[in-house]
Amino acid sequence: MELKITEEGLKKALKSARKPEVTAKQKLPVRYHVEDFKVEGRTRAFLEAFAAILKHSNYKFVLDHYIRISAKCSRCTTNCQIYEVTGDEHDIPCYRSELLLSIYRRHFTVAGQMSGRLFGDPGLTDEHLQELAASVWNCTACRRCVNECPMGIDHGLVTHLARYVLSEIGIAPRALVVSTREQLIGDSGNTSAIPVPALLDTLEFLEEDMEEEKGVKIKFPINVEGAEYLFVPAVSDFLMEAETLMGNAAVMTATGGSWTIGTGYFDGINYGLFYSDHVLEKAVQKILAEAERLKVKKIMIGECGHASRSAKYFYPAFCGGKDALPIINCMEYAYDMLKAGKLKLDPNVIKERVTYHDPCNIARPGWIVQQPRELIRAFCKDFVEMTPNGRQGVCCGGGGGTVSIDEIMPYRMEIGGKYKAKQIVDTGAHYVIAPCANCKKQIREIIDYHKLDAELVGLHDLIYKAIIFD
């Protein structure tokens, strides 16, 4: 498979699903849908929002550092899966960051303001704003480019901030905003709008299934006060990843774990990580409220990269600092149980070749890299790695929330996910394990779109097949 994009592919990828009238009315040449917002005076509004964010949050010293230190060495070009496919200079990570950094330099530093006045530089233009709005959503915020920046500039952080400022003036993908609205002020209180009765029905149905298949009573404990773990998967798992959930339940049952699902809040998804610190905070605090209600001791996040990261790395910041409850990912639990000899897996069930995709959000910081591999090696005979992998792993192309934006699917397939598609083909694996709700959706679409001979599964899907009950 050729990595470089063809002309025809590029045409498909860049085609906008938006109506030209809407684009013209909003003066916004982006590919994602945006709810209506105030168009006139938006550069001013952007600068005001930027100023407010700088005032109250922690970004200022970071930007000060980045504008001084950037050496423009262009090593980052070698590590961005978007750039490697398009070869377009506008997709160079350092260029993308510069779009925001230049606004900061011009409007928020003394030197910039002075030279602006001196040379009659008008400052932030609407065209620049439009380019920024398009560019930051081409990036998947996978932070792979950070690995190759000698200056330690985190382009993912800059993208994150740019999206936050834009969202404060109303420019954010509608798909994410609508889900967030449902999660934070909607009746269902979760991003997939699943009502509690439907959830209970689903779980009951799965319990019956599991009893039939495994001959063991496996429960989804609901609202158990004082349980050890509050289990919070990406809520979409309840709709789309039944096998993964059954795997989770099977592991907990086989190892005698004390866990519960709370009907007050059962959604690990947090789009705030992608576009708004405000949303990030409020969504994380919903987990806190549920954990307090059920008086659990720890929180276990399901198979989902961004849900795990937004909880693990932001729960302490927003929910009690040092006293915050410990957060673990379900794979860590399974790994510990395997080491303790409580989780037994039959090595003769999975005969096909398997490979493992590292979700960026949990692999990049080096948090969950080894655990799933040891689990896989414990029962899969034919395990092959993708190259590169682990902390250097390549994004599936649906990171940073882009996988939830359906209208940019061709972009995700032709550009974002091309590298991953090539990696999958190169391994020759039948099972592609991707322990993340976002990666699962994206890679499933990749397999479909590029007609690959592979099957996408979660790690717990396979564990469910091979688990042994005493």
Partner 1 sequence: MEAWLEFGRGPLFRISFTLMVLGSLRIIILQIIGMIEAYNRSADKIVPWGDLWKKTFSWLIPIFNIWRKRPVYSVISVLFHIGLILVPLFLAAHVLLWKNSVGFGWFHISQSLADYLTLLVIITAPLLFLMRVLNKNSRFISRTQDFVIPLLLVIPFITGYICVNSSISATGYQVMMFFHVYVGNLIMIMVPFTKIAHCVLMPFSQFVTGVGWKFPKGAGDKIIATLGYGNKPTWFDNPRIGIVTEAETSQEQEDKK
Quick one: 138 or 192, whose CB is closer to ligand SF4?
138
Residue 144 touches ligand SF4, criterion: CB under 6 A: yes
State in angstroms the smallest separation of the CB of 213 from partner 1: 35
Residue 143 touches ligand SF4, criterion: CB under 6 A: yes
Site string for ligand SF4, 325-344 (x = CB under 6 A): --------------------
Residue 300 touches ligand SF4, criterion: CB under 6 A: no
Residue 58 touches partner 1, criterion: CB under 8 A: yes
Residue 70 touches partner 1, criterion: CB under 8 A: yes
* Stretch in the footprint of partner 1 (CB under 8 A) among 45-53, 188-196, 337-345, 422-430: 45-53
User: Hey, which residues between 236 and 295 contact ligand SF4 (CB under 6 A)?
Assistant: none
260 binds, among ligand SF4, partner 1, none (CB under 5 to 8 A by kind): none
Residue 15 touches partner 1, criterion: CB under 8 A: no
Quick one: 58 or 223, whose CB is closer to partner 1?
58
The owner of tokens 């379900």 is: 330
Residue 121 touches partner 1, criterion: CB under 8 A: no
Q: Which of 104, 259, 266, 314 lies at the binding interface for partner 1 (CB under 8 A)?
A: 314
Q: Which of 10, 107, 109, 148 lies at the binding interface for partner 1 (CB under 8 A)?
A: 148
Q: Which of 11, 27, 65, 297 lies at the binding interface for partner 1 (CB under 8 A)?
A: 65
* Stretch in the footprint of partner 1 (CB under 8 A) among 16-24, 226-234, 258-266, 338-346: 16-24
User: Hey, which residues between 243 and 272 contact partner 1 (CB under 8 A)?
Assistant: none
Show the 3-state SS of the chain: CCCCCCHHHHHHHHCCCCCHHHHHHHCCCCCCCECCCCCCCHHHHHHHHHHHHHHHCCCHHHHHHHHHHCCCCCHHHHHCHHHHHHCCHHHCHHHHHHHHHHHHHHHHCHHHHHHHHHHCCCCCCHHHHHHHHHHCCCCCCCCCHHHHCCCCCCHHHHHHHHHHHHHHCCCCEHHHHHHHHHHHHCCCCCCCCCCHHHHHHHHHHHHHHHHHHHCCCCCCCECCCCCCEEEECCCCHHHHCHHHHHHHHHHHHHCCCCEEECCCCCCCCCCHHHHCHHHHHHHHHHHHHHHHHHCCCEEEECCCHHHHHHHHHHHHHHCCHHHCCCEEEHHHHHHHHHHCCCCEECCCCCCCCEEECCCHHHHCCCCCCHHHHHHHHHHCCCEECCCCCHHHCCCCCCCCCHHHCHHHHHHHHHHHCHHHHHHHHHHCCCEEECCCHHHHHHHHHHHHHCCCCCEEECHHHHHHHHEECC
Quick one: 69 or 111, whose CB is closer to ligand SF4?
69
Site string for partner 1, 194-233 (x = CB under 8 A): ----------------------------------------
DSSP β-bridge partners for residue 260: 230
Quick one: 141 or 376, whose CB is closer to partner 1?
141
State in angstroms the smallest separation of the CB of 162 from partner 1: 14
User: Hey, which residues between 72 and 101 contact ligand SF4 (CB under 6 A)?
Assistant: 79-80, 82, 93, 96
How many chain residues touch partner 1 (CB under 8 A)?
Answer: 79
Q: Which of 169, 246, 254, 368 lies at the binding interface for partner 1 (CB under 8 A)?
A: 169
Question: Distance between CA atoms of 28 and 132, rounded to whole angstroms?
Answer: 10
The residues of the shown chain that bind ligand SF4, judged by CB under 6 A, are 79-80, 82, 93, 96, 139-145, 155-156, 395
